[in-house]
Chain A
Amino acid sequence: AQTVTQSQPEMSVQEAETVTLSCTYDTSESDYYLFWYKQPPSRQMILVIRQEAYKQQNATENRFSVNFQKAAKSFSLKISDSQLGDAAMYFCAYRRTSYDKVIFGPGTSLSVIP
């Protein structure tokens, strides 16, 4: 069964600095999708970035980028120029290509220090 692990329950970063959130996953599939979702106190789960496993190029979305290491089954999220609005729970998630069920990790709580 696929699993997603986030080993950092809590992280903090100074405003304008860079922070990296870690994620590892376990799967026997060769094709799949990986996601980072952000959940602020408002509870709305917001898609931050997605990565297709068959693409070697790391995905980027403005200040957010990933380091996707397929062989190591690692999918870390880098947030550059951190802003106060980045404070939230961040969930790493996995989806097998042929199915739409999303498997979430336990989450990392990110605090941004002014």
Chain B
Amino acid sequence: DAGVTQSPTHLIKTRGQQVTLRCSPKSGHDTVSWYQQALGQGPQFIFQYYEEEERQRGNFPDRFSGHQFPNYSSELNVNALLLGDSALYLCASSLGVTTDTQYFGPGTRLTVL
């Protein structure tokens, strides 16, 4: 049973560039949530996708956008990168929007220079 997978593992970008991160949910899961984890901090919720729509959003600017595909995989896009966007980006999947347990992927480490 495949767990949550994310790609790429690491990514280096420069300020002003755009980046796309990808996530495949755990088999059988249909809901994907994205989190940003700055170094030494707990993860912060970015947004959640269910049925190809953004269902919830955290306190992140519009530079952060996403998409969910019919196969439930998801992308996180960040435009106009800032140095402060450097972080570990975690994807979590669950079944439905009200199930209590999320399963996390290994994350993508984004470094903005």
* Chain A interface residues toward B at CB < 8 A: 4, 33, 35, 37, 42-47, 50, 52, 91, 93, 95, 97-107
**Count of A-B contacts judged by CB separation below 8 Å:** 65
* Chain B interface residues toward A at CB < 8 A: 31, 33, 35, 40-45, 48, 55-56, 58, 88, 90, 92, 94, 97-107, 109
| Bound Cα distance A107, B41 (Å) | 7
**B40 contacts which chain A residues (CB < 8 A)?**
107
Which of B88, B92, B104 neighbours the largest number of chain A CB atoms within 10 Å of its CB? Answer: B104
| Bound Cα distance A101, B107 (Å) | 17
**Inter-chain contact A100/B107, CB cutoff 8 Å:** no
**B107 contacts which chain A residues (CB < 8 A)?**
43-45
Rounded to whole Å, the gap between the CB of B9 and the closest CB of chain A is: 9
| Bound Cα distance A97, B44 (Å) | 18
